């Protein structure tokens, strides 16, 4: 679907960036991205994907907004408290960019529905910051061959990585399971969350995804940032053929095997 005259005007400045142009902006418009989780990380990811002009954004989150969420989710307003985050994010984003289709999915992404949920999307971004969900998304994307991004923020440290992305020569980048032990080094489960660390990490996730759409290589790596000490690190990650083959052979596991607690279905 080509850009309309109004879209050409709206995205005049991005189109003017060297290497972008109308053709690449059109590629962004024709991308379909699913964002899982609409908290501090996901809410900002959604905002900047929409601002970039991504054509279809799915927003999967079954939770409602709590007052303590507002400190790290400036997308929302105080009147949104106790309302479904996915619905309110979709409404806010439609008001911001009516050219993008924002679809709220009031669901928990779990083994029994994940293949259906991700089927129509080109890229999956898991912002749930929930280990069982990461594993479900990993296994579903490896099974279906879809590229995906996972990120987390723990206090002052953020990490994110692009997994199962196409590489030169026809291979693909590592899976989440291939680097799970390394990722554990970034985790700090002490309580606390700063708004700007989530926002800054989210923009980096979006940067990687948009670069991929624009055919800029590099997303299939592991990134981390220590905001307290201003230290940025990029690591190449190597696919573990054994791990990937085991994942393909086993397919999706049960919720119990993932350690996932199944929440009741949401009433709209």
| pLDDT at residue 181, as a whole number | 86
| pLDDT at residue 169, as a whole number | 82
CB 197 within 8 A of CB 158: yes
Q: If you write DSSP's letter for every residue of 85-120 in order, what string do you get?
A: HHHHHHHHHHHH-TTSEEEEE-S---TTTHHHHHTT
What is residue 71's DSSP assignment? G
What is residue 220's DSSP assignment? S
| pLDDT at residue 97, as a whole number | 97
Q: What distance in Å separates the CA atoms of residue 106 and residue 89, rounded to the nearest whole number?
A: 12
Cβ atoms < 10 Å from Cβ of 268: 7
What's the predicted TM-score (pTM) here? 0.96
- Break the chain into its structural domains and give their ranges: 22-258
- Name beta bridge partners: 224: 159, 233
CB crowding 82-95: b at 16 or more within 10 Å, else e? eebbbbbbbebbee
Q: What distance in Å separates the CA atoms of residue 63 and residue 58, rounded to the nearest whole number?
A: 15
DSSP-derived 3-state class of residue 56: strand
Q: What distance in Å separates the CA atoms of residue 41 and residue 267, rounded to the nearest whole number?
A: 25
CB 146 within 8 A of CB 121: yes
Side-chain-facing half-sphere of 257: CA atoms under 13 Å: 10
| pLDDT at residue 18, as a whole number | 95
| pLDDT at residue 265, as a whole number | 83
Looking up tokens 């999706």 gives 252
- Looking at the domain that runs over 22-258, which CATH code has it been given? 3.40.50.720
Sequential pLDDT tens for the chain (268 residues): 789 999 999 999 999 999 999 999 999 999 999 999 999 999 999 999 999 999 999 999 999 999 999 999 999 999 999 999 999 999 999 999 999 999 999 999 999 999 999 999 999 999 999 999 999 999 999 999 999 999 999 989 999 999 999 988 888 999 999 998 888 888 776 667 888 999 999 999 999 999 999 999 999 999 999 999 999 999 999 999 999 999 999 999 999 999 999 998 876 5
**CA-angle at 184, arms to 176 and 134, nearest 5°:** 35
Side-chain-facing half-sphere of 73: CA atoms under 13 Å: 25
Looking up tokens 């790596």 gives 221
SS3 string, 169-193, reads CCCECCCCHHHHHHHHCCCCCCCCC
Q: Provide the angle, in degrees to the nearest 10, between the axes of the packed helices 131-144 and 241-250.
A: 90
């Amino acid at each position: 679907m080509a850009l309309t005259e109004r879209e050409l005007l709206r995205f005049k400045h991005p189109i003017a960036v060297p290497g972008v142009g109308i053709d690449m902006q059109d590629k962004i418009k024709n991308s379909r991205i699913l964002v899982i989780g609409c908290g501090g990380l996901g809410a900002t990811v959604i905002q900047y994907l929409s601002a970039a002009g991504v054509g279809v954004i799915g927003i999967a989150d079954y939770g409602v907004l709590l007052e303590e969420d507002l400190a790290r989710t400036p997308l929302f307003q105080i009147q949104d408290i106790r309302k479904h985050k996915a619905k309110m994010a979709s409404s806010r984003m439609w008001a911001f960019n009516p050219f993008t289709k924002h679809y709220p999915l009031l669901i928990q992404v779990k083994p029994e529905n994940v293949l259906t949920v991700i089927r129509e999307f080109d890229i999956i971004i898991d912002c749930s910051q929930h280990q069982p969900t990461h594993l479900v998304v990993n296994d579903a994307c490896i099974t279906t061959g879809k590229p995906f991004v996972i990120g987390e923020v723990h206090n002052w440290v953020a990490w994110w990585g692009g997994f199962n992305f196409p590489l030169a020569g026809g291979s693909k980048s590592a899976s989440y399971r291939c680097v799970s032990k390394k990722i554990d080094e970034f985790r700090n489960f002490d309580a606390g969350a700063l708004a700007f660390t989530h926002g800054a990490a989210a923009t980096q996730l979006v940067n990687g995804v948009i670069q991929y759409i624009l055919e800029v290589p590099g997303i299939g790596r592991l990134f981390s940032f220590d905001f307290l000490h201003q230290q940025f690190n990029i690591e190449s990650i190597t696919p573990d053929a054994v791990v990937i083959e085991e994942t393909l052979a086993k397919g999706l596991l049960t919720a119990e095997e993932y350690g996932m607690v199944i929440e009741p279905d949401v009433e709209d």
